[in-house]
A and B are shown apart, each in its own frame.
Chain A
Amino acid sequence: MAESICRSLRDGALEGELAPTLTIKDSLASPFSFNVFSHILLQLSSQKSQSHGIVIVALSRSPSFYADFLKNKGVELSSSNKWIHILDCYTDPLGWKDKARKSGNVNVVSDQISLATSSYKSVKDMDKLFLAITDLGRGLVGENKVRFCVAIDSLSKLLRHASLQSVAGLLSNLRSHDQISSIFGLLHSDLHEERATAALEYMSSMVASVEPDHHSSENCLSEKNFTQGKFSVRSKRRNGRVRETSEKFKVEAEGISFASISAEDGTTVAGLLPKVQFNLQLSEKEQIDRAKVVLPFEHQGNGKPIQIYDGRRSLEESSGEGAPISRCKNEDSALGEIIYFRDSDDEMPDSDEDPDDDLDI
């Protein structure tokens, strides 16, 4: 659910834990991850959260875009210097314009942006990027235990410039930094090898996938695919379980809206488990109950002879006549006798014994 993702990001990291990280994944069939990204950005800017500042690493959109976006959504920008800062890796990521300017040929026009922006010119160097992000963040929130949040415009762009190892290293350093409250970034999964996507999913605590609706996957050009689709989230909970949720989303002029899916699409659990057996063991309560059961042929140790109900008389009558019935069999010879003729002479004498004599009835 988009709501629960925003809530987890707002709640941020606990002491000694890695920061929650969200990766928003999409593909060409349903390329709306930026809408989700901006939706989350808006939620984090407008609502109360653990983080007191946001650092946006802008790689695929210019800082002025963000300024306009926030202004259109009604976020007040005058005091924005205190809580938002953009690391501009869009204008000149590799420092070429700088070099061109130094050689004197090009005049670079810088636009006025109402958001605090710092330009960053060496996107290939992840260590420097990490330092830049943390410096900016610390500049926003100060040195104490106050935390800030990091939004990476496009992990795909980062992967274009740097190797998977360094991007993964950057993410892991960000996650273990004690002043970072949460991280979210977007990824276009069809631009990369599966390994890269798997590695980034491994490092995130929540993975949100933007997918087309199932039934319209045949005709990708249908109009429906341009406005709506399925939004599924897999989040790793603290207890080690994985929560998977799905929603429908719809992209409109004002933004993106989420609605829950009516029909359940149950995943089969069958493949996960081997054959299971029935439980033959007892819980503690069941053991206690079993110990309490009075077995019919056992002395309970209280000196009374056992009442055995043999079904022929009602219980009140048997209280008077219970005594002769329950005595050992040796005594009923008064009522009748059993005369036994041996079958043959070489039968073992032991077979005469009544095996029931061993029992303690």
Chain B
Amino acid sequence: MAATRTRGSSFSRNVSTVTSQNSGLKHGPNGTTFLSSGIPDLDKILGGGYTLGSLVMIMEDAEAPHHMLLLRNFMSQGLIHKHPLLYASASRDPKGFLGTLPAPASAKEDKTRDLTNEKDLRIAWQYKKYFDPQLNISSNNGAQQDYCNDLDLRKPLDRHFYSGMNVGCVSIQDSPDLASLQDQCAKFLSQFSRNEANISSAGRIAIQSFCSPQCKFANMEWHMLSFIRSLKAMARSSNAVVLVSFPPSLLSPSCSKRLQHMADTLLSVRAIPDEDKEMAKLLTGYQDMVGLLNVHKVARLNTQVPVILETTTFSIKLHKRRYLVLECLNQAPVDGSSGSSYNTSGSCSGSTKAGSLDF
């Protein structure tokens, strides 16, 4: 099985440190603060996590439920860190969804993932004997584990995490328009307004399947666009992260494009065909993959410098069928008889704000 770490460079410019007051928040560059997405690999890819004050949008695939994995981990991580949560969905009973949130993995299983930070190069150097054996760099991991837990998708979260008063659930199925949801979001976000220097607490809003067809406002595109716009403005001036997932195939192309441009961080999930022999030949680890994740845009607040990622497409795998793992796509060894081994880069770059250079 392929290794579980993504191919991030070990030299990272965005040095982020854990804030001492509250777990779950991390200082980032340019005066921003991060909170964890619940998926350690995604935090690494995004340079620390989701930026406070940003709007994260996930483009769903009509054929796969992978956006639910991202949503679940986001919500669960927030509950573990005691961030107040507001969850809205188009089902009749959104509270039932809380029962499917993953719990943090037990401590014993945590260690096996980041086990050895092996020395990459062994040098036969005669002065080596004068030095102490190097301490493992995993001393940093202790603080990291607190910021982002490994969430076990097979274990449901304990009820006491979400039975408190800090979790609100809203059903948007029967409401004729988005005004009531907007009011609830405004009320929720007013708790976290960004006036003081210290951040007392951070909030999370998760909206699932924003324009699903059974909502009465699904036809009112301008209304939905203005809702998202005001939500983004409210989020910008508060210490919260808003996560919205929407199916772009159900909207008109212009509306879908506008929503994509409004996002600060834009991700998309895609389904992969099952038992596809061509794909199995092309990629290693195809058997374990459940889908693909594309990072189109990464939020950059307070700066003009865009984030340029090495790769923008990652495969979603379930490690031991419990932990969500994102990996770079790796090509299977090509035997000399077959034809060209490079594909044209497909639909991996969406909007152009973070000019993704794919070599």
Question: A: which residues have CB within 8 A of B?
Answer: 164-165, 168-169, 171-173, 176, 195, 198-203, 234, 236-237, 239-244, 266-284, 287, 295, 297-299, 357-361
Tell me the bound Cα distance from A173 to B173 in angstroms.
10
Q: Does B328 contact A (CB under 8 A)?
A: yes
Given the interface pairs A199-B250, A240-B65, A361-B124, the reply to whether A277 lies near B3 with Cβ below 8 Å is no
- In the bound complex, residues from chain A placing their C-beta under 8 Å from that of B11 are none
Given the interface pairs A198-B250, A284-B1, the reply to whether A275 lies near B127 with Cβ below 8 Å is no
Q: How far is the CB of A335 from chain B (nearest CB, A)?
A: 23
Can you name 11 extra interface pairs (CB under 8 A) apart from A272-B292, A279-B331, A287-B116? Answer: A164-B219, A165-B219, A171-B214, A199-B250, A202-B249, A202-B250, A240-B64, A272-B346, A274-B358, A275-B345, A279-B2
Cβ 8 A contact of A276, one of B212, B274, B330, B347: B330
Q: Mark B171-183, 1 if CB is under 8 A from A, else 0.
A: 0010000000000
- Are A358 and B125 interface neighbours, CB within 8 A? yes
Q: Does B283 contact A (CB under 8 A)?
A: yes
Q: How far is the CB of B158 from chain A (nearest CB, A)?
A: 18
Q: Write 17 A-B pairs (CB below 8 A) sorted by A numbering.
A: A164-B218, A173-B92, A242-B63, A243-B275, A266-B278, A268-B278, A271-B344, A274-B345, A277-B328, A277-B329, A277-B331, A281-B330, A282-B3, A298-B122, A359-B126, A360-B124, A360-B128
Q: How far is the CB of A173 from chain B (nearest CB, A)?
A: 8
Question: B: which residues have CB within 8 A of A?
Answer: 1-3, 5, 7, 62-66, 90-92, 116, 118, 122, 124-128, 173, 212-216, 218-219, 247, 249-250, 252, 270-276, 278-279, 282-284, 290-292, 311-313, 316, 328-331, 333, 342-348, 358-359
Given the interface pairs A202-B213, A274-B329, A279-B330, the reply to whether A269 lies near B282 with Cβ below 8 Å is yes
Cβ 8 A contact of A271, one of B3, B252, B329, B346: B346
Which DSSP category, helix, strand, loop or mixed, fits chain B's interface?
A: loop
Tell me the bound Cα distance from A274 to B313 in angstroms.
7
- Are B214 and A169 interface neighbours, CB within 8 A? yes
Which DSSP category, helix, strand, loop or mixed, fits chain A's interface?
A: mixed
- Are B218 and A276 interface neighbours, CB within 8 A? no
Tell me the bound Cα distance from A279 to B359 in angstroms.
16
Tell me the bound Cα distance from A296 to B173 in angstroms.
70
Tell me the bound Cα distance from A201 to B214 in angstroms.
13
- Are A269 and B92 interface neighbours, CB within 8 A? no
- Are B272 and A241 interface neighbours, CB within 8 A? yes
Tell me the bound Cα distance from A203 to B126 in angstroms.
68
- In the bound complex, residues from chain B placing their C-beta under 8 Å from that of A240 are 64-66, 271, 290-291, 316
- Are A267 and B273 interface neighbours, CB within 8 A? yes
- Are B274 and A241 interface neighbours, CB within 8 A? yes
Given the interface pairs A195-B250, A279-B284, A283-B3, the reply to whether A169 lies near B173 with Cβ below 8 Å is yes
With both beta carbons as reference points, the residue of chain A lying nearest to B277 in the complex is identified as A266
Q: How far is the CB of B325 from chain A (nearest CB, A)?
A: 13
Cβ 8 A contact of B213, one of A164, A173, A270, A297: A164
Cβ 8 A contact of A360, one of B126, B173, B214: B126
Tell me the bound Cα distance from A173 to B62 in angstroms.
18
- In the bound complex, residues from chain A placing their C-beta under 8 Å from that of B218 are 164-165, 168
- In the bound complex, residues from chain B placing their C-beta under 8 Å from that of A171 are 214
